[in-house]
Every structure is written in structure tokens, then in C-alpha cells.
Amino acid sequence: MTMKRRFHITLPLICFLTPVLLWLVLLIVLPHVDLLRMSLRAEDDYGNAIWSFSNYMAFFQEPIYWLTFVRTAVYSIMVTVMTFIVAMPVAFYITKVVAPRFQGFLMMLLLMPFWVSELVRVYGWMILLRESGVINHFLTRMGILNQPIEMLYNDVTMVMGLVYTSMLFMAVPLVSVLESLDDSLIEAACDLGANMGTIFFRIVIPHAMPGIVSGSIVVFMLTLGNYLTPNMIGGKNALWFTEQIYNQFIASFNWNQGSAFGFLLLVLSSLVIWAGLKLTRQKLSRVVQ
């Protein structure tokens, strides 16, 4: 005979859930509902408001819009992969190689650059890479370059900046999940003659998969919706879809069109995350733990 547990709504539970529900409803649900409502509003030939999909159709009719949309998605996936490639060795070294007494110090060094705002960190990259910056100064003084070169305002620099600004959000989940990896599994694999590649792909990667997927979701979403770094480092030639949204809202003051673009960006991120979960055979409930 099984006994059903009854769920009692108590005053402490109400006090705990009320701020969370208010946060979700007022700052997440309602803005997105309003975003969808505005994206479906348009004007007829007489200036009357009507319900229409014209704002979405304009996205597919103009090549500049959907090409920028695709470009943003491809570069966001590329940045996510590169961030994992950079962050994985760092996380493995902190958790499995360095002595335990130094792990806290290395984690602090990893976190320190992110104690300042993204704007300050992007300006730091600009100071290093601009034509009159630090790197060009030393390269010309050492005779490697005859004259300074412009390293900013291109796709390579933009990707570097996006990887740098997103690395913490990949490294922290990886460090967290690798800490639970039993060292005896790696030692046993070494005793049985497994090489480093086998250990990495057969033991480390499967164990770290929840952290990899969790970090990838966060990095992808942050990169996809990033406006500051592509605008400041990428320059005018590095088109990013968030700039199109900004132009619709601020420059053109076309809030209906901007809402449609924003909702399309939300749909894109959701579809890519869903596809990533299916490909890695991970469940969202496990990843977000």
C-alpha cells in the first residue's frame, strides 16, 4: 500500500515562491508576450492597426536581414566551440593536475578579469590591438613590423573578443563537473595502457558532458545576443543580428519590426539549443543541475 504525499501550501512556501514567480512573470513572461504581440501588429494603407505577419515576411524578403541572421548563428556556434577548446584544458589543469592548495588561487585568477564590466574588458582589447596600441608598439620597436597595422575591426578580432568575454561561463561548469571525476579511473586507464587520447575521449568527455552542454548553452546564448563586442571590435563590416534589432528599435523607431526580429532571435536560440541537446543525448533537467 502506497501513501500519497500531500503538498501543503504554507506561509513560508508562499513567501519563498512569490518573489520567484513575480520575477518570472513580470520580467520574463510578460515582456516576451508583449514582444510577440507587437511583432504581429502592422498598419494598413489607411494607417489603421491590423494583425499581420508582414513584419516576419520583411525579414525573409530582405537578404541583408536573413544573411546577417545566418551569419550570427554560424559565428555563435563557432565561438562556442572555440571557447570549449580553450576552457577545457584550463578546467582539467585546475581540477586534475595542479596541487589542491593552488586550485583556489587559480580559480581566483580565472575570475578576476570578470570582476569588471564587459565594456572595460573590451576597451582593454582595443588598447592592445589598435594601430597605436601596445602590441603594435612592441612589434615595431623590435623590428618585426616596419609600420603599425590595424588589428581591430575584422571577424578574427571579433571572434577572439567573444571567446574571451564568454570563457568564464564555459570554464566554471567544466571545473564543477570535473571535480567529481574519480582520479582512480584515469589511473586505471593508464595502468591498462590507454593513451591520453583514449582517456580524454572515453573517460573525461563522457563524464564532463553535462558541464559541456551547460556551458555551451550559456556561451551560445550570450554570444548570439551580444551587442557590445561585435559593435566595438568587429566594426561596420562585421554585421551582427543584434545590431539589426537595435537599428529597428532606436534608429528607425520601428518597434513592431524590431519585436519580430527579437522574437526570431529567441526562436533561433531555442531551436539550436534543442538540436544540441538531441545530438548530445542530454536532458535539460540534468544539464541545469
In a domain, 188, yes or no: yes
Q: From CA 219, how far away is CA 168, in angstroms rounded? A: 9
In a domain, 35, yes or no: no
Instruction: Answer whether residue 145 shows pLDDT above 70.
Output: yes
- Mean pLDDT computed over 177-196: 87
In a domain, 33, yes or no: no
DSSP 9-68: --HHHHHHHHHHHHHHIIIIIHHHHHHHHHHTEEE-TTS-EEE-SHHHHHHHH-HHHHHH
In a domain, 13, yes or no: no
Question: What CATH number is associated with residue 233?
Answer: 1.10.3720.10
pLDDT tens string 213-243: 989 999 999 999 898 888 888 866 678 899 8
Instruction: Answer whether residue 85 shows pLDDT above 90.
Output: yes
In a domain, 22, yes or no: no
**Overall number of domains in the chain:** 1
Task: Band the pLDDT of 1: cuts 50, 70, 90.
Answer: very low
- Mean pLDDT computed over 173-189: 89
In a domain, 43, yes or no: no
pLDDT tens string 7-36: 566 777 788 888 888 888 888 889 889 889
Q: 216: domain range?
A: 53-287
**What is residue 169's predicted lDDT score, i.e. its pLDDT?**
92
- Mean pLDDT computed over 144-158: 85
